Amino acid sequence: MVSRRDFFMGAGVALGAGMVSRVGAASLPEAPLMNDAKTQPPLVPKTGRPYNPVVTLNGWSLPWRMNNGVKEFHLIAEPVVRELAPGMKANMWGYNGQSPGPTIEVVEGDRVRIFVTNKLPENTSVHWHGQRLPNGMDGITGLTQPGIPPGKTFVYEFIAKRPGTFMYHPHGDEMVQLAMGMMGFWVTHPKNPDFMRVDRDFVFLLGSFDIEPGSATPRVNTMLDFNLFTFNSRVFPGIDPMPVRQGDRVRIRMGNLTMTNHPIHLHGHEFVVTGTDGGWTPPASRWPEVTVDIGIGQMRAIEFDATDLGDWAFHCHKSHHTMNAMGHNVPTMIGVDHSDIAQKINKLIPDYMVMGERGMGDMTEMEMPLPDNTLPMMGGEGPFGSVEMGGMFTVVKVRKDQKRGNYTDPGWYKHPAGTVAYEWKGAVPEATRHTSPGGKLAEPVRKPAETELNVRKPGTNDGHNGHGGH
Ligand SMILES: [Cu+2]
């Protein structure tokens, strides 16, 4: 039996800001709860084998207890309220108070025992994505175990054989449970802490949700047409920056639990892919990149030397993944006789706003007031105005004076004089025109008028409809 105090003494972990302890049954390890969506400082190990901890973007790592040489964790699958960005909270499912759940960090060779308590209204299971383990620990409802019924606790136990980057998520009613945010990161550190040592090691999961503007609960029957694209269930401007010190070797590990691929792009530096789903890549197999495509269900670790000072954008290169939600139905309402519109919308979306006296007929799309609990499509104030981004977008902040181990936001980069793009104040000469081979000015291309009427909205196979509202 381990008391609360003993547990935290044993784990050597002080409860950080926003962390709340919950005492489980006497024989169970603690199941700490996080009620804060901010990036938490690295969890430095005080028991077990030493390792260099990771930092989970807008997340945290789960404390453990050592029990006769076994590293014991306690996950609680439960409904949570996750702030996607200031101004928007979502009713989701996750683990220990947040979606995604806490990152689990262990060391190659550790014997790991994970207690999973199900506080959801339906069966669940946890699949340890990418691990080598006994088949019966693989967490596949119906295939390798019965589902964990509501109110019950199951135990998983295996040796973390292979160092690398992993994820965990339910396997059984996955479409619903992933759509609701059930996922987490797992890192198995190498036995030798100097193996591929880096100065900063960030981790996060790529997620996607379909939350109608004005509502707070993801739609769980959505298959492909999501409208919010997240780093660790956060959207820009709610995603924390990644502060690093100039000269740092930086690793960023990402796992994709969405239903589409994400070409993730870093500005100002080249990186190499040092890790995949199957482990570390052999050095001779690496080549420089500035974008890495992360397929569905895949994990990638990238590494670079942070040589250049500045605020470097880091984002998905699908432009509609760096925007926040527009409703599937909202834009098409614009210009419609609004006398019965509230009634119509309420039929489609039960918890949608009622527009009241304001009406919609004479409003342009951009002036339309946002429903409650809805983020602007593109926003985020930068030092030069609106960044005009949302979704999967953040900033790697390279600073000369960022202290080792300090992950606090250093603020915006102060560009040295003469190093920012500037307005040309002189005369602008008339543009020269191309001529056709015959010496005549080329005819301007005129499109038939009906082309404009046939403009199609973005496809429905991975994007979201209705961005343009045309
Ligand atoms: Cu994307």
pLDDT tens per residue, range 357-379:
444 433 334 445 678 888 888 88
Please list the residues that pair with 250 across neighbouring strands: 200, 304
Question: Is residue 224 very low, low, confident or very high in pLDDT (cuts 50, 70, 90)?
Answer: confident
Confirm if 349 and 290 have CB atoms less than 8 A apart.
no
**Cα of 1 to ligand 1 centre, how many Å?**
46
**Cα of 447 to ligand 1 centre, how many Å?**
32
CA–CA distance, 231 with 382 (Å, rounded to integer): 19
CA–CA distance, 171 with 155 (Å, rounded to integer): 16
**Cα of 215 to ligand 1 centre, how many Å?**
23
Residue labelled with tokens 């379909």: 210
**Cα of 103 to ligand 1 centre, how many Å?**
22
Asked if pLDDT for residue 6 goes beyond 50, the answer is no
Please list the residues that pair with 254 across neighbouring strands: 204, 300
**Cα of 260 to ligand 1 centre, how many Å?**
7
For residue 355, what are its two tokens?
């527009």
DSSP, collapsed to helix, strand or coil, labels residue 175 as helix
**Cα of 222 to ligand 1 centre, how many Å?**
17
**Cα of 266 to ligand 1 centre, how many Å?**
13
Q: What is the largest CA-CA distance in the chain?
A: 92
**C-alpha 312 chain-centroid distance:** 18
Mean pLDDT across 390-398: 95
Question: Is residue 212 very low, low, confident or very high in pLDDT (cuts 50, 70, 90)?
Answer: confident
> Burial level of 268, CB count in 10 A (0-12/13-18/19+)?
middle
CA–CA distance, 196 with 92 (Å, rounded to integer): 36
**Cα of 193 to ligand 1 centre, how many Å?**
33
- pLDDT tens for 423-464 read 999 998 887 776 656 656 656 555 554 444 444 444 444 444
**Cα of 267 to ligand 1 centre, how many Å?**
16
Residue labelled with tokens 């994990």: 299
**C-alpha 253 chain-centroid distance:** 11
**Cα of 317 to ligand 1 centre, how many Å?**
6
For residue 17, what are its two tokens?
């800001």
CA–CA distance, 233 with 82 (Å, rounded to integer): 8
Q: Which of 203, 219, 222, 199 is nearest to 211 (CA)?
A: 219
Portion of the chain with pLDDT greater than 70, in percent: 77
**Cα of 110 to ligand 1 centre, how many Å?**
34
Q: What is the CA radius of gyration of the chain?
A: 25
CA–CA distance, 34 with 18 (Å, rounded to integer): 6
Confirm if 106 and 193 have CB atoms less than 8 A apart.
no
**Cα of 316 to ligand 1 centre, how many Å?**
5
**Cα of 352 to ligand 1 centre, how many Å?**
27
- Give all strands (DSSP E) within 372-460, no chain letters: 379-382, 385-389, 393-399
Helix (H) or strand (E) holding 6: helix 4-11
- Give all strands (DSSP E) within 192-241, no chain letters: 200-209, 228-231
**CATH domain 4-193 topology:** Immunoglobulin-like (2.60.40)
* Higher-confidence position of 284 and 447: 284
**Cα of 70 to ligand 1 centre, how many Å?**
38
**Cα of 319 to ligand 1 centre, how many Å?**
8
**Cα of 232 to ligand 1 centre, how many Å?**
13
**Cα of 231 to ligand 1 centre, how many Å?**
10
Determine the pLDDT at residue 3: 36
Confirm if 365 and 331 have CB atoms less than 8 A apart.
yes
**Cα of 254 to ligand 1 centre, how many Å?**
12
**Cα of 261 to ligand 1 centre, how many Å?**
6
* Higher-confidence position of 431 and 127: 127
**Cα of 206 to ligand 1 centre, how many Å?**
8
| Residue 299 main-chain phi, psi, to 5 deg | -125, 145
CA–CA distance, 198 with 272 (Å, rounded to integer): 13
Choice among 15-24, 119-128, 158-167, 458-467 with the minimum mean pLDDT: 458-467
**Cα of 166 to ligand 1 centre, how many Å?**
20
What is the overall mean pLDDT for the chain? 84
**Cα of 253 to ligand 1 centre, how many Å?**
15
Q: Which residues contact 80 (CB under 8 A, 6 or more apart)?
A: 92, 93, 94, 97, 98, 99, 181
Please list the residues that pair with 265 across neighbouring strands: 291, 315
- Return the sign of the alpha-carbon dihedral for residues 457, 239, 245, 299: negative
Confirm if 303 and 244 have CB atoms less than 8 A apart.
no
DSSP, collapsed to helix, strand or coil, labels residue 330 as helix
**Cα of 198 to ligand 1 centre, how many Å?**
26
**Cα of 52 to ligand 1 centre, how many Å?**
29
Determine the pLDDT at residue 19: 62
pTM to 2 decimal places? 0.80
Mean pLDDT across 296-301: 97
3-state helix, strand, coil in the chain (%, to 5): 10, 35, 60
What number of CA atoms fall less than 13 Å from residue 365's CA on the CB side?
14
Task: Give me the residue spans of the domains in the chain.
Answer: 4-193
